[in-house]
Amino acid sequence: MSRQASADTAATPRRTPLEEWVAAAIGCAGGRVHRAALADWQLARLRETVARARQHSPFYARHLAAHDAGDLASLADLATLPFTTADHLRVEGPRMLCVRPDEIERIVTLPTSGTTGQPKRVFFTAEDLELTVDFFHHGMSTFTNADDRVLVLMPGERPGSVGELLSRALPRLGAAVEVHGPVRDVGAALDALARLRATVVVGIPAQVLTLARRSTEYGEASWRPRVVLLSADRAPRAVRQAIEDAWSCRVFDHYGSTEMGFGGGVECEARDGYHLREADLLFEVISLTTGLPARPGETGEVVFTTLTRTGMPLIRYRTGDLSATASAACSCGARLPLLAHVKGRITDGVRLSHGLTLTLGDLDDALLGIGGIADFRATVDRASDGERLRVELRLTGSQRGVVDQARRALLRVPALRGGDAAGELRIEVDIGDEAQWPCSTGMTKRTLCDERGTERAHA
């Protein structure tokens, strides 16, 4: 019999377990975080991080030459420090380290998508990786218990990879775990789901969506998880709803990146945003126009500073992600700050001739909720007779009616509706050639490109 999600009848969602975890780390009794104590903790760790980086890192010795740790009188003074960027990771790399090379346990190389540019490399000590395992342990306890069996559809073949870290964290809850790896064969992943009788699945949004839709072809006898955690990519509302409908489960979202140490924050039962690793990471949201701290509720760029990392500290690292600090406290009752759901990336868009910007998130929301669509690639071509949006779909099942549904959905996107109405934009939708698809193994590859073929957004 399939595991079904129980009805969510509680008037108040359970308080995130991350609050008790953070409270213990910063010395607050009773499992509740006091904002003043959290600010004092973060300021002390910030001063230590700046002082250590200036002393031990050749890069930060130059980058922070005019900024002494003793000048940081409050967290507001964080805004006086210069930003660190992805270009610094590419160019400076090992010069950002605060330890000897032989103390590094894991190096993660992140190639620059869509270009031939120098890759980013992020360095971790064993202590840094243990911090992530500890976060995964407590974050997963939001919806995982000792009776659960967890199927991890994330990379896990290498020590220090996401799947391997989860395989170390979940047994601390008493849960069983199997790291299958990213979905390259849909049938094999579904077989693993049924064989393990997994109650919790962790995976990439579009890949889990494909599994959920394909599993319905097997009928009621197929196994369905109780909970899904989506990670490693933005999880559009339409994708979350489609997974919940297919599997009768609850879907949670995780926010993180390699630069954060793989883990940044996770939703609680209220699912109104992310509760963050406040004892390990200091988050900001900065205005897109001024670069200064954004107002609560104002969309800006997420910036973070590591507070406890020893190998490669990152100070005011610009993520390129768009979000906002929540203007109200979470309904779960936690006193931790709340980060709103990520809306996309700063570079995640193509400006059309009629003045509006089309983003990958727009296309995600329009297309991925349509049954049968696994992923897509889109290109905006510009010519003398106007613009053309070409969308190629990759399907999981029947092709009947999908192209027409996709076209209608695209015409509801404001950035596309205006151009179509003005006769300045043509929309072409077709089914991509499976043999030529760049991710024929089942890996998702949603793209939005400009007329030169340069990727502006990707998964």
Look at the block and give the residue holding tokens 């296309």: 363
Model pLDDT for residues 395-427, shown as the tens digit of each residue: 876 677 899 999 999 999 988 987 665 567 889
pLDDT of residue 417: 85
Predicted confidence at residue 147, as pLDDT, reads 97
Contact 72, 83 (CB under 8 A): no
For the segment 3-21, what is each residue's pLDDT rounded down to a tens digit?
444 444 446 899 999 999 9
Tokens matching residue 128: 């840094």
Say what the pLDDT of residue 348 is.
76
CB 376 within 8 A of CB 365: no
Least confident of 42-51, 238-247, 276-285, 440-449: 440-449
Percent of the chain past pLDDT 90, that is, above it, reads: 70
Say yes or no to pLDDT of 186 above 80.
yes
447: β partners: 377, 458
Q: What is the DSSP letter of 335?
A: -
The pTM of this model reads: 0.88
According to the model, what pLDDT value does residue 353 have? Answer: 77
Long-range contacts at 295-303 (CB < 8 A, ≥ 24 apart): 296/324, 296/325, 296/326, 296/327, 297/324, 297/325, 297/326, 297/327, 297/340, 298/324, 299/323, 299/324, 299/343, 300/324, 301/346, 302/339, 302/342, 303/83
What pLDDT was estimated at residue 458? 39
Contact assessment for residue 239 and residue 364, using Cβ atoms and an 8 Å cutoff:
yes
Q: Does the pLDDT at position 112 exceed 80?
A: no
Walk across the sheet containing 317-323 and list its strands.
281-286, 300-306, 317-323, 344-345
pLDDT at 6: 42
Quick: pLDDT tens for 288-297.
Answer: 999 999 999 9
Q: Could you tell me the domains of the chain?
A: 350-458 (3.30.300)
Q: Is the pLDDT of residue 98 over 60?
A: yes
Measure the CA–CA gap between 17 and 140, rounded to whole angstroms. 9
Rounded-to-integer distance, Cα 261 and Cα 215, Å: 33
- Tokens read off for 286: 């900065």
pLDDT-derived band at 453 (thresholds 50, 70, 90) equals: very low
Q: Please give the pLDDT value at position 313.
A: 98
pLDDT in tens, 187-215: 999 999 999 999 999 999 989 998 998 88
User: Could you give the CA distance from residue 255 to residue 173 in angstroms, rounded to a whole number?
Assistant: 21
The rounded Cα 153 to chain-centroid distance in angstroms is 15
- In the predicted model, what is the mean pLDDT of the chain? 88
